[in-house]
Amino acid sequence: MEDGTPFCKQCGAPQIRVPGIEAVESSAPGPAGITPAESAPEVPSIPSVLLSERRSPGVQWAHALPGAALGGAFSLLAAIVPYAIFGPAFLAGGVVAVILYRRHIKDRLPSAGAGAQIGAASGGFGFLFFAIPAIATLVYRPDELRQGMLDNLAQYVGRGYDPQKIQQVQDLLKSPQGLNFFVAFVLFILFLMFVVGSSIGGALYAAWARKRAQR
């Protein structure tokens, strides 16, 4: 049959078009009762794919470790500033490490967790930069290290600290075992301060950078 002719050319019968058949066939359910419209998978839009890729939280350590080492060195230098050793120096080291990491990975925004990992790595580097010379001095020049600690403790007496407690610490430092214990204790406390402080700094900066990018 041809459209536009009222009768068939071969048999002369009138042509009758039944409406609705094509619509029913197009919406007929496929296998397992799924229509063609329902079976088509939802394809994410290109902007959403690019945005999720840009904000991938994974850490590329090949690019993160150099910045973490520089951040650790910065936190160690910043600790010279008065009262910076009580937190700000380590926070700044974590921030510097994440900033340097973002310069290498420009198409991604690290998450707060990734920033915390990079900051913790920078704190670990900063602790190593301090611990290695301290341990070397303890091994090769213990007398000089002991004398330096005794002189520093003597200054705390004039600052209002309890003289009896200062004397107990000085007596502890006079023995090799006491010196080793004191150095190990100080290194443990510094390790926590370096790693935890730098981790918090990296996480805070990464969260701030992501929030700023959403505006």
The domain ranges of the chain are: 60-213
Percentage of the chain with pLDDT > 90? 50
Q: What is the pLDDT of residues 94-119, one digit of tens each?
A: 999 999 999 888 777 889 999 999 99
Q: What is the pLDDT of residues 4-40, one digit of tens each?
A: 566 566 665 555 555 554 444 444 455 555 554 454 5
DSSP structural state of residue 6: S
Considering only CA atoms, which of 107, 10, 105, 116 is closest in space to residue 51? 107
Mean pLDDT score across all residues of the chain: 81
CA dihedral over 74, 77, 81, 82, signed as positive or negative: positive
Q: Are 106 and 213 in contact (CB under 8 A)?
A: no
Q: What is the pLDDT of residues 34-82, one digit of tens each?
A: 554 454 555 444 444 344 444 445 889 999 999 999 999 999 999 999 8
168-190 mean pLDDT: 93
Top-confidence range, 18-22, 68-72, 163-167, 207-211:
68-72
- Coil, helix or strand at residue 40: coil
